[in-house]
Amino acid sequence: MKKTTYIFMLFFAIAVYAQASSITVTLTDGVSNESLRAKMENSIARILNEINAAQAADRDLNFSAMGVDANVQRSMSMLWENTPFLCTDEEIVEHCITTGTGYQVRNIPLMMKPTADRAFNEEEYQEAVISFDRQGNVESFYLSISMNLYMNVIKSNLELTDLRRRQMILDYVEQFRTAYNQKDINFLNQVFSDDALIITGKVIMQKHAEGFATQKIQYNKHSKQEYLAKMKRIFQTARYFKITFDEIEVMRHPTNPNFYGVTLLQGYSYNNYHDDGYLFLLWDFTDESHPQIHVRTWQPDKLNGKQLPKDEIFNLSDFDI
C-alpha cells in the first residue's frame, strides 16, 4: 500500500514539474539589435508560459503576466474562449521575419485542447504567429497557415513591392481565419466592404429524364448584411468553431496593382457540421491600413465524387474591377 502511494505521488510530482517547466525562446536571426531580440524573446516566453500555466490550472489567461496591450488581450481571450490551447515545446528556436511594419515569429507550436462540452473534443496541432512593431512590442497573436504554404506564396514573386504586399495579404488572411475561430463578428464587419458580393455554393441533386441523378452546384448571392447576420446566428449557437486553410494561391490583378485574388482550400467546422471547399477572396489594398474584401465565394471541392476542375474554381478573372 505504501509503495503504491509512493509511486502515485512520484508520478504526480513529475506531472506538476512538467506543467511548471519554463519555455525558453531563441531567435536565431532576423534581428541584429541584441537588446531588441532579447525583448522579443522574453515577450514570447512570457506569453507561452502563461498560456501553459492557465491550461494546467484550468483558468482564464492572466494578461498582467504577459504584458500585452488591450487589443492582443481581446484577441487572445476570444480565441481562448472558443478553445483553450497550450504550447507543446519547452524550447522555441525560430527565425524572425522582417515585415513592412516590424517583425514576425512563426511556427509557434500549439495544441488546441477543447473542453468536454465542445462538439470537437479531440486535440489538434496548430501553429501561431506573433507580430511585433519596430520597438519589439507585441502587436498580435493569431493562428497561422503552415510555413510551407507561407513560403510558397512569398517565393512566388520576388519583386520588392509585390513581396511586401504578399506579406500583408498573408497577414490579413491569417487574421481573417483567426477571426472565425474567435467568432469575431466585428472584424468581419470591418474587413468586408459595404457592397461586398458574397456567393455561396450548395450541392443539390439534379434528376435526368433517363432516370438517374447527378450532383450540381446551386449558387446564391448574399449581401454583406445578410451574410453577417447568418454568421452571427452561427457564432451564437456554435459551441466550437474551426476554420483551416490547406492550400493558398495569390494572384495580382494585371491592371490594378491594389487588387489581389486569393484562392484557398478551406475546412469549415462547427458543432456537428463540416465541409471542405474552395474559398475565393478579392482583396483591395488601396488603403493598406484598412484593406477590404469586395468578393467572397465558396464552392465544394468535389462534385460527383471528383475533384472540382480547376477551370471551374472562381478566380480573379471572373470579376470586373
What is the pLDDT averaged over residues 276-303?
94
Give the Cα separation of 87 and 126 in Å (integer): 10
Q: Is the pLDDT of residue 122 over 60?
A: no
**By the 8 A CB rule, do 139 and 129 touch?**
no
The model's pLDDT over 57-88, given as tens digits with 9 standing for 90+, comes to: 999 999 999 999 999 999 999 999 888 899 98
Give the Cα separation of 190 and 290 in Å (integer): 8
- What is residue 199's three-state secondary structure? strand
The DSSP annotation for 157-170 comes to: ---HHHHHHHHHHH
Q: Mean pLDDT in the chain? A: 87
Give the Cα separation of 253 and 317 in Å (integer): 8
**By the 8 A CB rule, do 316 and 261 touch?**
yes
Written as nine digits, the cell of 140 is: 498580435
Q: Is the pLDDT of residue 3 over 50?
A: no
